[in-house]
Amino acid sequence: MRTGVTAVVPHPGNVFRERPRAACYVFNGYGKSVGLPQLAELGVLETPILLTNTLSVWTAANALVTHALERNPEIGSTGGTVNPVAGECSDAYLNDMRGRHVTEADCLRALETATGGPVAEGNVGAGTGMSCLGFKGGIGTSSRALTFGSGDFVLGCLVLANFGRLADFRLDGVPVGRELEAAGWPDRPPGPPATVEEERRRVPSRERMPAGPEEPPGGSIMIVVATDAPLTSRQLTRIARRTTFGLARTGSVGAHGSGDFVLAFTTADLEPAYPSEPVLVRRTLVEDDRHFGPLFQGAAEAAEEAIINALFAAETVRGRDGHERKGLPVEQVIEILRRRSPSGYRG
């Protein structure tokens, strides 16, 4: 059992009654997320977001409904229904996913114990059994502080990283994955680095083949973007799309079997479920290069850094049937960056 659940709670109030404006962007729809059609149609979140493994996503959605019903007695009686939003990635290589070990109680506990402040990364929550770019993956976060005009805003990003092959892994533009493959990773112990060409001659080509049928090269990623900038759902969609540039920088090519989903929301000017007036007045950020340029750049950078942080934070895990996913060999990666990084990496 190598699995879990991660809760993203937009604000400490009642999310059903005070709804964040939100958007979703599906880069590759190979996934089983719940609630995205209504989110795209109405542009608001009605529940927190839960992330878990593929075969537990419906358990997570059910828990979100339970959570909302307990706090809103009008749902399904005097009021309307509720739209739960849950996302998933497959942790089947390390986890007995058929056992569906994530329970509704686990999901409710995640919702009830969510706190602000620094977010745990690596092998935590939904990230417990995930793999990324040939290594142990999981949860990663990053953020950017933005100042433009008279406003100061923050854009944060959380990822559930579970995609890609070792050969595709890039960091700061350096083909780190290929360098590690050429050095015989993971079979060769750490040692003085050789040149890529020297090691390619040493390592038989069969050892550099892509993953076999047991480990398809697809995988998936869930990206959650949160900001306090006053944005419409359409504007949030534009920002969500830019996270895929950060995803690509780490080595993703959007493989056939990779479900790549982005959820974005703002905590500014929450939408009331029961407005007292028929017309709402809302702030909206002006759409020009001075304002959206930093948001676009921040979204791309934060997504890239969150994925890298997930890799650096994750540790080796042994899972079902003796499968093992090793953590990133940090010292070797740093040495490769020092030799190859165009920005002169200093560690």
198 half-sphere exposure, CB direction, 13 A CA radius = 5
Residue owning tokens 């990133």: 328
Query: Has 260 been annotated as catalytic?
Result: yes
End-to-end C-alpha distance for the chain, whole angstroms? 35
Tell me if 249 sits within 8 A of 304, measured CB to CB: yes
Q: Tell me how far apart the alpha carbons of residues 315 and 140 are, in angstroms, rounded to a whole number.
A: 13
How many whole angstroms separate alpha carbon 89 and alpha carbon 258? 9
Please tell me the distance from the alpha carbon of residue 321 to that of residue 95, in angstroms, as a whole number. 9
329: left (phi over 0), alpha (psi -120 to 50) or beta: beta
Distance CA 327, CA 210 (A): 19
CB-side neighbour CA atoms (13 Å) of 270? 18
Coil, strand, or helix at residue 127? helix
Active-site option among 33, 56, 142, 220: 220
Pairing type for strands 219-227 and 259-272 reads parallel
Say what the alpha-carbon torsion angle 328, 332, 334, 339 is, to the nearest 10 degrees: -140
For residue 143, give both structure tokens.
């953020």
Residue 153 structure tokens: 């805003």
Residue whose structure tokens are 């409710």: 108
- Measured CA to CA, the distance from residue 131 to residue 123 in angstroms comes to 10
Distance between CA atoms of residues 275 and 185, nearest Å: 59
The residues carrying an active-site annotation are 220, 258, 260
